[in-house]
Amino acid sequence: MLKLLKKIRFTLIQRNIDRKEKKGIESTTLKGNSEEKIFFILGSGRNGSTLMAKLLNKHSQIFLPPEQYALPYSIADWHVSPIKKWQIYSKKQLTRYRQNNNNWKLDEGDYVQIAKQIENLTANERGPREIFKKVFFQYAKKYAANKSAVGDHSPLSTLFYKYLAYEFREDYHVFLIRHPLDVVLSYSKMPENAASNPQDSVKKWNNSVAAYDYLKEKKAKIFLVRYEDLVQKPREIIGEVLCFLNIAKEDLFIKENSQLANDSLGVSSLRHHQNLFKPISSDSIGKWKVGLDPELICKIQADVKINAQRFGYSLEINHEPKN
């Protein structure tokens, strides 16, 4: 029953956002400070998003914290009622960021500082985007000095892509795509994750493609990266991403002695992220051909065929992966 009520609530919120868009009512905080960039790394999961976050975290002007579990719910609260008091709303959201992200390294004093920053925002500045920005830049300031860009690579951001498109359309979105059957294989090695079920991982992959299409439709700033290209030619791809973000290029492949180069993403204890601490390898490309049962491939390939073809992925076992 609780799950059903949550689904109804989020459906109603999305309808509210859709109505605003039809009426031409934009988010109050779409146009932010151009000198303070926000970007999102999106995709199905098991698609290189954490690898990209780790590489970008080596840049002198970029900071990405561990995954967050607050933003979509913060946006939902903002749209659930047309009448709200900013002090009550903002206090609730800071509590959400603190409690939902217990793997973060921000303390009570940090949230007090953030509260002071957002307390007297003007009406045109108030909203979930501004709270997100203040929280992320405070995190960056504490652990990585002053930065000009903050990023988020949380799976929730892709799941709630319609919320993201409304509140962050003027910001930057890097979308990672990987062969769907390699995604299925990778998730299958994570029994604790619901997506270890092939049908669920297929659903996540198709949902991520829907997110990409929706952001394109809304004319969001979005840059497509193939996982296969990222692991085969990382210098070139990261250079292209930095160009898209309008951030000066740096050699990120010689910086291994800083705090950020180690585990600022908080993933060192996670078994499924251990390859992040090894040299970048393309060995995982096409592993589905030997790692997935042929009967399973036949069972799920119809569900991904159309989208796979769109992105140049063959589902034939004897076909060489496209580079």
Mean pLDDT, rounded, of the chain: 90
Residue 45: give the domain boundaries.
30-61+153-323
Q: Give residue-wise pLDDT tens across range 207-247.
A: 999 999 999 999 999 999 999 999 999 999 999 999 999 99
Q: Which two tokens stand for residue 16?
A: 């509210």
Domain shared by 123 and 210, yes or no: no
Q: How many domains does the chain have?
A: 2
Instruction: Indicate whether 141 and 257 sit together in one domain.
Output: no
Residue 8 has pLDDT above 90, yes or no: no
Pick from 100, 125, 146: which residue ends a domain?
146
Residue 35 is assigned to a structural domain of this protein: yes
Q: What is the pLDDT of residues 17-38, one digit of tens each?
A: 888 887 787 776 655 556 799 9
- Encode pLDDT of 54-107 as tens digits: 999 999 999 999 999 999 999 999 998 766 799 999 999 999 999 999 889 999
Residue where one domain finishes, among candidates 146, 171, 189? 146
pLDDT band at 145 (very low <50, low <70, confident <90, very high): confident
